[in-house]
Amino acid sequence: MELIRAERIGKTFDVSPPWLTRALAREPRLLLRAVDDVSFGIRRGETLGLVGESGCGKSTVARLVVGLYRLTTGTITYGGASIDALAAGRAGRALRRRLQMIFQDPYASLNPRWRVADIVAEPIRAHRLLRGRRAVQARVDELLVQVGLAAADGARYPHQFSGGQRQRISIARALASEPEFLVCDEPTSALDVSVQAQVLNLMRDLQRELGLTYLFISHNLAVVHHVADRVGVMYLGRIVEIADKRRLFATPRHPYTRMLLDAIPDLGLTGKARTPVAGEVPSPLDPPTGCTFHPRCPLAGDRCRREVPLLKRVAGVPDGAEGGEAACHAVEEGRDGASGRGV
Amino acid sequence: MSGASLLDVRSLRIEFPTRRGTLVAIDDISFSIAPGEVLGVVGESGAGKSLTGAAIIGLLEPPGRIAAGEISLHGRRIDDLPYDAMRKIRGRRIGAIFQDPLTSLNPLYSIGRQLIETIRTHLDLGESAARTRAIDLLREVGIPSPERRIDHFPHQFSGGMRQRVVIALAICANPQLIIADEPTTALDVSIQAQIISLLKRLCSDHGTAVMLVTHDMGVIAETADRVAVMYAGRIAEIGPVAEVIHAPKHPYTVGLMGSIPSIVDDRERLVQIDGAMPRLNAIPPGCAFNPRCPRAFDRCRIERPELIAVGVSRAACWLYPGAGADAGAQARAGAVR
């Protein structure tokens, strides 16, 4: 049963110069399509990871899902109801309580002038979940302990905590409204590895305990491999491949996914030959025609330069993981020569 | 291999005097780098890895100062040189690459002008010869159509291309040593892979030694010959890269390696080192890692361990008998490979 469904969502930003400048220079409007025709579903209790390089639109997707940005096209339904309701009225308030977000930078996402207890209590007060100071206080203490802090930490200010502890505070705040669904936008990329391990373990424990559903955004493939059940790979505003984690990492099909996996520094010291990665991500203001990956793709053909590939089902792997989908003409036509490619 | 080393750091101590007392950021570390060798320096934020690099190139920001120890290049001390003499070494014999390529370049000058200025400062070349060399350098670091790109400004380059320009600047006088401080941290994975292979190629072509400072163990695994793991201003472990990754000796290194998620394993949980690195004003007595160490015993809380040979690595840990005593002398005798 899908808890959340995004159907062909898109977000366009107007990045034009001011009206007068534009009129004087006779320039057209400049539109940036940050997210283009993206569809995915997340089942209850599942973690969907979204990976991609800077500027691929993954954070925009996160913000669209929690309603921080308005959709330009497409729909997102949450438990069957459209999230357009997020913006309005009582239904919006009820919906907002059920989904929360954890941000990347634990230094910027906590108000430095508030005590931790007030930060964590804010969602409880905003949604009027509990009445009375004492009840709120008890709940805040419970939340702080749940994320591995001490109840007494509530009296302190954010600057008195390390990065990892601050991210725990963010998590406690997100949990305060008893949500079912958490959108995590690079929650550990500002943290050192040993602290990252603490936070990832905590998030996994909380998922078990509370039955949470996660949308987990990261540029780090190893982190996504660790937390996600299914993984979507984004490139220039589109999902180019989405599949069960085991299938995606064992037999990546889209050439971009393969390139990303090959680019991960190899801790195993196996000395495996790397496919040299050519080129850089093109500007999203002026994306290439057809498949946006074609200028960097070793398999690109004429059709790739003309026609935008759509997500199509691909074969699964023997151990039972479903195949998922890839948006690639070469894969569709069997030109990738790797239907059984192992790593 | 003492005597043959290119860079020797001995008993280096860096202090920050503050109103509330002196903070010791680097406490008695010693290591050496052989010509053409890549030494990786890893550790978490605040371990002192960047500070060590800054001290070597003489760019320690006041009030930080070298309180004790020596840094020598080819057997000649460089830590006590006057400012002008150090300027001649920096760039000419030791190059530097920093994390953020945008702040390493002057936004007001074309990259050509910056390259030519650097080349002419260090090498005896005329304007047009320097320009030719600048174009060659840009070609060598993989910038397409360098004849045209040389007149462009830093903002006209992408992050990966800017880092290539910074590398060209660092190698323009053929230094024997490059201090690379988190050279790939600001870059995306695919670009990161390009920059790592570029650095590796340049170093083997020119026989340049590199001190690669990073928090990313993956980058070290791909690039370094040896690794030094730093914790709270000290070296916890130093050894050949394969040994440190596959058979870590110090409990901190063991935890650090286990805490890195990987795409090839299916562990339910990552190894977790509880707590955080101590602040400089609250470094615990004995081994600085003891409050977080799963194997700490009484001695760890009282006596500070020195680096001693453990197999082919060296670790500063009381789990290995014989630590202490003459370990400091051994550490100064040079690196064990």
Q: What is the token pair recorded at B221?
A: 């695994």
CB A246 within 8 A of CB A290: no
A274 at interface of B, judged by CB pairs closer than 8 A: yes
Which secondary structure element, helix H or strand E, spans residue A208, and what is its range? Answer: helix A193-210
**What are the residues of chain B with a beta carbon less than 8 Å away from any beta carbon of chain A?**
44-45, 158, 160-161, 188-194, 196-197, 215-219, 221-222, 241-242, 245-246, 255-256, 258-264, 267-274, 276
Buried b (16+ CB within 10 A) or exposed e, A226-244: bbbbbbbbbbbbbbbbbbb
Query: How many CB atoms sit inside 10 A of residue A7's CB?
Result: 14
Number of domains, chain A: 1
* Whether residue B110 has pLDDT greater than 70: yes
Contact B256 A194 (CB under 8 A): yes
Answer whether residue A176 is part of any domain. no
Q: How far is B225 from chain A (nearest CA, A)?
A: 12
Answer whether residue A300 is part of any domain. yes
* φ, ψ of residue A335 in degrees (nearest 5): -85, -5
Answer whether residue A333 is part of any domain. yes
Which pairs from A154-161 meet CB under 8 Å and 24+ separation? A154/A115, A154/A116, A154/A117, A154/A120, A155/A115, A155/A116, A155/A117, A156/A115, A156/A116, A157/A112, A157/A113, A157/A114, A157/A115, A157/A116, A158/A107, A158/A110, A158/A111, A158/A112, A158/A114, A158/A116, A158/A119, A159/A112, A161/A116
* Whether residue B336 has pLDDT greater than 70: no
Determine the residue among B263, B265, B272 to mutate to test chain A binding: the one whose Cβ has the most chain A Cβ atoms within 10 Å: B263
Q: pLDDT (tens digit, 9 = 90+) per residue, B249-301? A: 999 999 999 898 888 777 888 888 888 888 888 899 999 999 999 999 999 99
3 state SS of A160 = helix
Determine the residue among B100, B102, B189, B293 to mutate to test chain A binding: the one whose Cβ has the most chain A Cβ atoms within 10 Å: B189
Contact B263 A263 (CB under 8 A): no
Residue of B nearest to A203 (CA): B269
Across the interface, of B196, B259, B263, the residue whose CB is closest to A193 is: B259
Across the interface, of B45, B191, B263, the residue whose CB is closest to A264 is: B263
Across the interface, of A264, A277, A281, the residue whose CB is closest to B194 is: A277
Q: pLDDT (tens digit, 9 = 90+) per residue, A81-120? A: 887 766 667 777 888 889 999 998 888 899 999 999 999 9
The pTM for the full model equals 0.85
pLDDT attached to residue B315: 94
**Stretch A40-44: mean pLDDT, rounded?**
94
CB A340 within 8 A of CB A247: no
pLDDT band at A320 (very low <50, low <70, confident <90, very high): low
pLDDT band at A272 (very low <50, low <70, confident <90, very high): low
Q: Name the residue range of residue A338's domain.
A: 255-343
Answer whether residue A57 is part of any domain. no
Answer whether residue A34 is part of any domain. no
Query: Can you list the domains of chain B with their CATH numbers?
Result: 7-93+175-333 (3.40.50.300), 100-174 (no CATH)
Query: How many CB atoms sit inside 10 A of residue A2's CB?
Result: 15
In whole angstroms, what separates CA B50 from the centre of its chain? 7
- In chain B, pLDDT over 90 holds for what percent of residues? 57
In whole angstroms, what separates CA B288 from the centre of its chain? 21
Cα A40 from Cα B221, distance rounded (Å): 36
Contact B192 A53 (CB under 8 A): no
Contact B260 A164 (CB under 8 A): no
Answer whether residue A214 is part of any domain. no
Which of A219-223, A232-236, B191-195 is the least confident region?
B191-195
What is the number of CB-based contacts under 8 A between chain A and chain B? 114
Answer whether residue A271 is part of any domain. yes
CB B292 within 8 A of CB B249: no
Whether ipTM tops 0.90, in short, is no
Q: Between A281 and A141, whose confidence is greater?
A: A141
Q: How far is B211 from chain A (nearest CA, A)?
A: 18
Q: Specify the residue for token string 């690195």.
A: B277
